[in-house]
């Protein structure tokens, strides 16, 4: 499980990519952005469990809710 210590770096990169995509003018890019945010949420939750970062996990759960809301508004 030591490999989970490095999950924070891919999570950070995926989060940046998701922010870039959701800021796009194109609906398709924004759609991919929300799915990418879901992936980043999962990665952050996995790392948060490993690191016992409970506040980060709760934050990611709330961000999932906002991502669902944003994805629905994008349609």
Write down the pLDDT at residue 2.
84
Write down the pLDDT at residue 1.
73
Query: What are 5-46's pLDDT values in tens digits?
Result: 899 999 999 999 999 999 999 989 999 999 999 999 999 999
Write down the pLDDT at residue 75.
77
Write down the pLDDT at residue 5.
85
Average confidence (pLDDT) over 44-58:
97
At 7 the three-state DSSP class reads coil
Write down the pLDDT at residue 4.
84
């Amino acid at each position: 499980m030591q490999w989970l210590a490095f999950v924070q770096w891919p999570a950070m990169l995926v989060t940046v990519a998701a922010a870039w995509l959701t800021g796009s003018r194109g609906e398709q890019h924004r759609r991919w952005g929300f799915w990418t945010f879901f992936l980043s949420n999962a990665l952050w939750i996995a790392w948060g469990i490993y690191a016992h970062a409970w506040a980060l996990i709760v934050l990611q759960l709330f961000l999932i809710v906002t991502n669902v809301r944003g994805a629905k508004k994008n349609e």
